[in-house]
Amino acid sequence: METRQGILCISNKKLKPQFASPQKGDIGESYADITKARKILGYKPKYLLEKGLQEKLYLGNLDAKRDWGFAGDYVESMWLMLQQDEPDDYVVATGETHSVREFAELAFREIGIDIEWQGTGVNEKGVNAANGDVLIEIDAHYFRPTEVDILMGDPSKAKEKLGWEAKVGFEELVKMMVDGDIRAK
């Protein structure tokens, strides 16, 4: 953040947070983005087969951990930054991590499907616990060349100086995404 000719400028150069909202489903470029949630939420085997669409969800590193947060919370933090007399740098994050695996499990659970994992590494599969259908497979194409296993921000300065902290937790975020997609269909 800096001021130029009386203008307060804010940018997020240090982190690429994993943030999402039901109103905007695909933010960012990583394989672990919310775009995968859209594939999970749209999973209906008969529909996918009839339309010739993909039958399975293909993911990369299931164990990649990210600091997932709600876009609305992050917008509030930006507004609070703009209310400050002096510019400063803040990390806006939840301060907790959850894996791509956890995101997939919760999203499927929201549509009534429990996932069991079979195999390891690139041979691991997410299977519908009720009927044995393979719903998730690993595709090496979705692995990042320089994978960072854990991305987590420390929002303590934002909490201390702005009085900001994330209000929407991970499970609530996944539920919001599922509900938003169901309403959009």
pLDDT of residue 152: 93
User: Cα-flanking dihedrals φ and ψ of residue 49, to 5°?
Assistant: -65, -45
Residue at 125: amino acid letter:
K
Domain membership of residue 10 as a residue range: 2-184
3-state secondary structure of 156: helix
Work out the average pLDDT over 36-52: 47
In the prediction, which pLDDT does 185 show?
59
- 0.95 exceeded by the pTM? no
Report the percentage of the chain scoring pLDDT > 70. 69
Q: What is the DSSP secondary-structure string of 35-98?
A: HHHHHHHT--HHHHHHHT--SSEEES-TT-EE-EEEHHHHHHHHHHHHT-SS--------S--E
Task: Count how many domains the chain has.
Answer: 1
Residue 141's pLDDT band (cuts 50, 70, 90): confident
Digit-coded pLDDT (tens) for 69-126: 999 999 999 999 999 988 899 999 999 999 999 999 998 898 888 999 999 999 999 9
Looking up residue 100, the CATH number of its domain turns out to be 3.90.25.10
Report the C-alpha gap between 72 and 33 in whole angstroms: 17
Q: What are the φ/ψ torsions at residue 161 (nearest 5 degrees)?
A: -90, -30
